[in-house]
């Protein structure tokens, strides 16, 4: 691991993390790496991130620019609610999450190492 890369909370390497400054960076928790988001990133240049509850579209746009040096063309925010589950005879819940869907122009790209 070089000085330019650090691990996020999920262990995903984030390039350019040594230059982080400001409160906007703290709003982005981690990239949401799923099969669907991977296909959208390859095909349509759309990336998905888990974000803080207090994050707004404008703050996410600024944080993406500070972190990855790319300017998003559009940002959508989705609140996924918590779900109740029943597993192995016990009741529980899966916590909800707020996610940002970031659209980039054709030439831009975000690298997750």
User: Concatenated DSSP letters for 6-74?
Assistant: EE-TTS-EEETGGG--SSTGGGEEEE---HHHHHHHHHH-EEEEEE-TT--HHHHHHHHHHHHS---SE
Question: Per CATH, which fold does 5-103 belong to?
Answer: Alpha-Beta Plaits (3.30.70)
All structural domains of the chain with their residue ranges: 5-103
Model confidence pLDDT, tens digit, residues 83-109 = 999 999 999 999 999 999 999 999 889
- Long-range residue pairs from 84-88, CB within 8 A, at least 24 positions apart, any chain: none
* pTM for the model: 0.74
The model's pLDDT over 18-67, given as tens digits with 9 standing for 90+, comes to 444 567 778 999 999 999 999 999 999 999 999 999 999 999 999 999 99
């Amino acid at each position: 691991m070089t000085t330019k890369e650090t691990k996020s909370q999920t262990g995903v390497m984030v390039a350019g993390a040594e230059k982080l400054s400001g409160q906007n960076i703290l709003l982005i928790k981690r990239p949401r790496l799923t099969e669907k988001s991977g296909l959208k990133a390859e095909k349509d240049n759309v990336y998905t991130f888990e974000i803080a509850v207090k994050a707004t579209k404008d703050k996410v746009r600024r944080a993406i620019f500070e972190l990855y040096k790319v300017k998003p063309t559009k940002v959508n925010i989705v609140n996924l609610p918590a779900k109740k589950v029943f597993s192995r005879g016990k009741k529980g819940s899966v916590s909800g999450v707020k996610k940002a869907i970031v659209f980039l122009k054709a030439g831009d790209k975000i690298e997750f190492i």
